[in-house]
Chain A
Amino acid sequence: MSQTMTTQHRGFRSLKARFTLRWSFWAQTAFITLLALALFGPIANLLIWTIAETWYFPHTLPNQWGLKYWQQVFNPYSDVSGSLMTSIIIALCAVVVCLLVSIPAGYALSKHTMPWRVGFMLLFLIPQAFPNLTVYINIARIFYDWGLNGTLLGVVLVHSVHGLMYSVWISVAAFSSIDPMLSRASRNLGAGPIYTFIHVVLPQAAPGLIAASIFVFLESLDEFTGTFFVGAPEVTTLPLLLYTASMEGNYQISSITALILLIPSIGFMLIINKFMRPEMLSKLGK
């Protein structure tokens, strides 16, 4: 009697298990499909737009295919190549500014003996804590007084403030993950603190600093709000151009611009993937 009950019970259990398995399988499939659609749907749409010459509303696919707009974009006198150059120059300058600040700051903050350490680290997060728009409007007002509005320098500074959050935190992690014995060994052999920093500490921190630079570069390349308030209309970066193009209904140009913006992101992500050491990530914020 009791035996039959247990078999029954077991049968029920296995049925239930199979059901749960099925259910979770379908749930997973549905979830992944939705995710893929959400991720790749807009990208597919964007890709189609880049090779559409005319595409009117009720049609699912473009009426006329072609590369006309690519030629327009890569025409050396087009707005796109001009603002691409501006974007790259601004991004490189922001990287330099961020490195100049975050190498010394990151090294100092990686020392646990430093007073107010956490306070300083939070300081670099503050601009992110407020709504972007408020921060940038205020920056724009201050920059207006200083005559920085509409200048490359102004835009570089805005991008740097934004990028510093990433670069300082990543640099602190990079410097913290270095074994302090490595610099002791160097001092031990007769090298002063500066020689040690250049020959031992910096090379060890380099992968982290490269990762930080890439983040700053990409963030700068994508930045819109700050550039809009501080730089426009004198300084036109790719995201600003993209914005104007889509406002004017020129989806081809804006799609191609978006695609151009996508290339460095993907490329650099691969590089970061190679350079970022997992143990460094574990030191983030420590």
Chain B
Amino acid sequence: MAHLDIRQLQVGYGDKTILHGINLQVQKGEMIALLGPSGCGKTTLLNAICGFVPTQSGEVHIAGHEITQLPAERRNITMVFQSYALWPHMSVAQNISYGLKVRKIPKAQAHKRVLDLLSIVNLEGFENEKVTNLSGGQRQRVALARALAVEPDVLVLDEPLSNLDAKVRLSVRHELKALQKKLGFTSLIVTHDQEEALVMADRVAVLNQGRIEQLGTPEDIYQQPETPFVADFMGADNCIIYKTSEPNVQLHLPNRSTAQTFALYFRSSATQVQAFSNSKNEAGLTLSGLVEQTAFLGQQYRHTVRSGEQVLQADSRECWPIASQVSLFVPPQALHVFDLATHETSNAFQSNLRG
């Protein structure tokens, strides 16, 4: 049985429903990333789990007990806040031991636990520091230690790394993951950064407009997106609508008829730039177009190629001159193909994302 079990959860503010029937089962010791664009309801989901916003319908269970209606203080779910939410009038040690003090743990024992936690998060010797004197990364680690001090049933983290600068973010990300492996706490981590989700989580849930679009291992989500939204969000940001009559597009798919209208998603990194050739009968997608723009990315050049109406991005180690005619080729395993008849809403997703 799942440790944290969310069933048909519906949450909103006033009349506005934000989360529409969320189902999510988190196993003990598992780390699940909630990934989605800004405003899709990630924070709202965490707040509902923590008891900060009331639920409209649905249930939340922890270790077999229903907690849907319990007040926040009786849930034993702790949150690491995006803004850290450390108490500025308390020292580092006072912040961390707050939950222990509330639980009336003897002082000596609480102090020992604080020291243990400080060494776990690599902040030895900081116990008497004022939290306002700490850097962002250090504050985030104090917030983590504070949340872990009470040994919560579930730890939820709301974009814990988004306020850190890029370099610190990478190192804190690694520490967090290592810590989660070592201590084995059950956790939900919210992020809008796909790389962060892939690196840290055991499973990833992609959210869109208050619904879980896909739940799966990082590999599944990355390699087999089930919907156009997931494909796009996971970085397959080239999209073409394929119609059979298109003259400069050729599509050959193994085991699949290409007589319908498809939406094709693929990554710019999986797109090969080749010298223009008229007829290619390889399996995969072949397009011809003109190079409009190039940008140096370090490892490679990114080419903006116009093919008819569509503008696509393709990466290549070679820099093709502007206005040269090229062929773009995408191998079949790198193509995410969606039948437009079954994904009627895909255009809505598109306009939503790009708009």
Contacts A190-B76, A190-B99, A190-B103 given; does A200 touch B87 at CB 8 Å: yes
Known interface pairs A185-B85, A185-B87; 16 further A-B residue pairs with C-beta atoms within 8 A, sorted by A's residue number: A179-B85, A184-B79, A184-B81, A185-B81, A185-B146, A186-B98, A187-B73, A188-B50, A189-B98, A189-B99, A189-B146, A190-B102, A190-B150, A192-B71, A204-B88, A204-B89
Interface size on B, residues (CB 8 A): 26
A192 touches B87 (CB 8 A): no
Q: Which residue of A lies closest to B150 (CB)?
A: A189
Q: Which residue of B lies closest to A192 (CB)?
A: B73
Q: Which residues of B contact A (CB under 8 A)?
A: 50-52, 71-74, 76-79, 81, 83, 85-89, 98-99, 102-103, 146-147, 149-150
A184 to B146 alpha-carbon distance, docked (Å): 13
- Cβ of A184: which chain B residues have Cβ within 8 Å of it? 50, 52, 72, 79, 81, 85
Q: Within the complex, what minimum Cβ distance (angstroms) separates B137 from chain A?
A: 18
- Cβ of B73: which chain A residues have Cβ within 8 Å of it? 187-192
Q: Within the complex, what minimum Cβ distance (angstroms) separates B70 from chain A?
A: 11
* A residues 184-243 touching B (CB-CB < 8 Å): 184-192, 195, 199-200, 203-204
Q: Within the complex, what minimum Cβ distance (angstroms) separates B352 from chain A?
A: 29
A185 to B79 alpha-carbon distance, docked (Å): 7
- Cβ of A187: which chain B residues have Cβ within 8 Å of it? 51-52, 71-73
Q: Within the complex, what minimum Cβ distance (angstroms) separates A200 from chain B?
A: 6
A204 to B89 alpha-carbon distance, docked (Å): 7
What are 29 A-B contacts defined by CB distance under 8 Å?
Answer: A179-B83, A181-B81, A181-B83, A182-B87, A184-B50, A184-B72, A184-B79, A184-B85, A185-B81, A185-B87, A185-B146, A187-B52, A188-B72, A188-B78, A188-B79, A189-B98, A189-B102, A189-B146, A189-B150, A190-B73, A190-B74, A190-B103, A190-B150, A191-B73, A192-B71, A192-B73, A199-B98, A203-B89, A204-B88
Q: Within the complex, what minimum Cβ distance (angstroms) separates B151 from chain A?
A: 11
- Cβ of A190: which chain B residues have Cβ within 8 Å of it? 73-74, 76, 99, 102-103, 150
- Cβ of B76: which chain A residues have Cβ within 8 Å of it? 190
A189 to B150 alpha-carbon distance, docked (Å): 7
- Cβ of B83: which chain A residues have Cβ within 8 Å of it? 179, 181
- Cβ of A181: which chain B residues have Cβ within 8 Å of it? 81, 83, 85
- Cβ of B103: which chain A residues have Cβ within 8 Å of it? 190
A186 to B94 alpha-carbon distance, docked (Å): 12
Query: Which of A185, A186, A191, A203 has the most chain B CB within a 10 Å cutoff?
Result: A185
- Cβ of B77: which chain A residues have Cβ within 8 Å of it? 188
Interface residues of A: mostly helix, strand, loop or mixed?
helix
A184 to B147 alpha-carbon distance, docked (Å): 12
Q: Which residue of B lies closest to A191 (CB)?
A: B102
- Cβ of A179: which chain B residues have Cβ within 8 Å of it? 83, 85
Q: Within the complex, what minimum Cβ distance (angstroms) separates B262 from chain A?
A: 46
Q: Within the complex, what minimum Cβ distance (angstroms) separates A209 from chain B?
A: 13
- Cβ of B50: which chain A residues have Cβ within 8 Å of it? 184, 188
A106 to B81 alpha-carbon distance, docked (Å): 26
Q: Within the complex, what minimum Cβ distance (angstroms) separates A108 from chain B?
A: 19
- Cβ of A203: which chain B residues have Cβ within 8 Å of it? 87, 89
Q: Within the complex, what minimum Cβ distance (angstroms) separates A132 from chain B?
A: 39
Q: Within the complex, what minimum Cβ distance (angstroms) separates B326 from chain A?
A: 52
Q: Within the complex, what minimum Cβ distance (angstroms) separates A90 from chain B?
A: 32
A184 to B50 alpha-carbon distance, docked (Å): 9
- Cβ of B147: which chain A residues have Cβ within 8 Å of it? 188-189
A172 to B149 alpha-carbon distance, docked (Å): 33
- Cβ of A185: which chain B residues have Cβ within 8 Å of it? 79, 81, 85-87, 146
Q: Which residue of A lies closest to B99 (CB)?
A: A189
Q: Within the complex, what minimum Cβ distance (angstroms) separates B79 from chain A?
A: 5
- Cβ of B79: which chain A residues have Cβ within 8 Å of it? 184-185, 188
B78 touches A189 (CB 8 A): yes
Query: Which of B71, B76, B77, B87 has the most chain A CB within a 10 Å cutoff?
Result: B87
Query: Which of B77, B102, B103 has the most chain A CB within a 10 Å cutoff?
Result: B102
- Cβ of B98: which chain A residues have Cβ within 8 Å of it? 186, 189, 191, 199
A195 to B72 alpha-carbon distance, docked (Å): 13
- Cβ of A195: which chain B residues have Cβ within 8 Å of it? 102
Q: Which residue of A lies closest to B95 (CB)?
A: A185
Q: Within the complex, what minimum Cβ distance (angstroms) separates A194 from chain B?
A: 11
Query: Which of A182, A184, A187, A189 has the most chain B CB within a 10 Å cutoff?
Result: A189
- Cβ of B78: which chain A residues have Cβ within 8 Å of it? 188-189
A189 to B50 alpha-carbon distance, docked (Å): 10
A181 to B158 alpha-carbon distance, docked (Å): 12
Query: Which of B50, B71, B79, B103 has the most chain A CB within a 10 Å cutoff?
Result: B79
Q: Within the complex, what minimum Cβ distance (angstroms) separates B160 from chain A?
A: 13
Q: Within the complex, what minimum Cβ distance (angstroms) separates A210 from chain B?
A: 14
- Cβ of A186: which chain B residues have Cβ within 8 Å of it? 87, 98
Question: Scoring A residues 26 to 51 as 1 if CB is less than 8 Å from chain B, else 0, what string do you get?
Answer: 00000000000000000000000000
- Cβ of A192: which chain B residues have Cβ within 8 Å of it? 71, 73
Chain A to chain B: the 8 pairs with minimum beta-carbon distance, closest first: A189-B99, A181-B85, A187-B72, A185-B85, A203-B89, A190-B102, A191-B102, A187-B73
A203 to B102 alpha-carbon distance, docked (Å): 17
A217 to B284 alpha-carbon distance, docked (Å): 82
- Cβ of A188: which chain B residues have Cβ within 8 Å of it? 50, 72-73, 77-79, 147
Q: Which residue of B lies closest to A200 (CB)?
A: B87
- Cβ of A191: which chain B residues have Cβ within 8 Å of it? 73, 98-99, 102
- Cβ of A182: which chain B residues have Cβ within 8 Å of it? 85, 87
Q: Within the complex, what minimum Cβ distance (angstroms) separates A48 from chain B?
A: 47
